[in-house]
């Protein structure tokens, strides 16, 4: 894989799945055309590449399509992994899957049930199983699997960020002190700031926009 391959990413700035894909693509150093879309107005060319109709979608050379964020991360880091994010890959897979398939539905229930306080509080309670797990890890090391950032931190933190902002005052005062510290470091990182910059919408802009 070289920079000669044409790569474009359909993305939505505030989507946590797209955030983790953009971070892995950015750290890989590959040149990526960024196609910022609106979820309520997806471009037909994106749907032609992937009828799943979710972001992120990575298109390689106009033919190969990767439309799962975790697979995009792995693909990018397999091309180039300058900070060794893949170093704990085998060990971190279970935790990432727990985030995606167990924590994420609870997060959605917590986030979208603000009209039903009882259900929201129940979701907050349920979320503690996963949060306790990562708090426990972060009491031992600066990041989830070591003292350096690895794949799991990047795959998981956009969802914890979303969770924290549902009720940031509560979260900051909660027992999850190590998570709070970890989250702040990742949110304030240069890499995250870079991938969170505002891009013009793909449909409106006639010019090619690159990630970063």
Ligand X SMILES: N[C@@H](CCC(=O)N[C@@H](CS)C(=O)NCC(=O)O)C(=O)O
Residues in touch with ligand X (CB under 6 A): 12, 15, 17, 39, 53-56, 68-70
Q: Of 104, 113, 115, 120, which is closest to residue 69 (Cα–Cα)?
A: 104
21's CB contacts (< 8 A; 6+ apart) are: 9, 11, 56, 58, 69, 72, 73, 76
Q: Which is nearer to ligand X, 60 or 128 (CB)?
A: 60
**Residue 39: CB minimum distance to ligand X, A:** 4
> For 63, phi and psi rounded to 5 degrees?
-135, -40
**Residue 146: CB minimum distance to ligand X, A:** 24
Q: Which is nearer to ligand X, 19 or 30 (CB)?
A: 19
**Residue 21: CB minimum distance to ligand X, A:** 7
Q: Which is nearer to ligand X, 105 or 200 (CB)?
A: 105
**Residue 193: CB minimum distance to ligand X, A:** 20
Q: Which is nearer to ligand X, 55 or 138 (CB)?
A: 55
């Amino acid at each position: 894989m070289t920079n000669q391959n044409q790569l474009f990413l359909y993305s939505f700035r505030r989507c946590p799945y797209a955030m983790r894909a953009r971070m892995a693509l950015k750290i890989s150093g590959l040149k990526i055309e960024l196609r910022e879309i609106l979820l309520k107005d997806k471009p037909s060319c994106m749907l032609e590449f992937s009828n799943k109709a979710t972001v992120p979608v990575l298109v390689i050379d106009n033919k190969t399509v990767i439309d799962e964020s975790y697979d995009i991360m792995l693909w990018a880091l397999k091309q180039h992994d300058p900070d060794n994010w893949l170093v704990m890959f085998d060990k971190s897979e279970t935790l990432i899957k727990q985030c995606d398939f167990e924590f994420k539905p609870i997060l959605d229930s917590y986030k979208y049930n603000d009209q039903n306080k009882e259900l929201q509080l129940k979701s907050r309670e349920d979320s503690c199983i996963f949060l306790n797990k990562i708090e426990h890890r972060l009491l031992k090391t600066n990041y989830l699997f070591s003292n350096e950032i690895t794949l799991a931190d990047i795959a998981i933190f956009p969802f914890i960020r979303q969770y924290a902002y549902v009720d940031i005052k509560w979260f900051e005062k909660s027992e999850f002190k190590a998570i709070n510290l970890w989250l702040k470091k990742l949110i304030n990182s240069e890499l995250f700031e870079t991938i969170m910059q505002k891009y013009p919408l793909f449909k409106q802009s006639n010019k090619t926009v690159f990630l970063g």
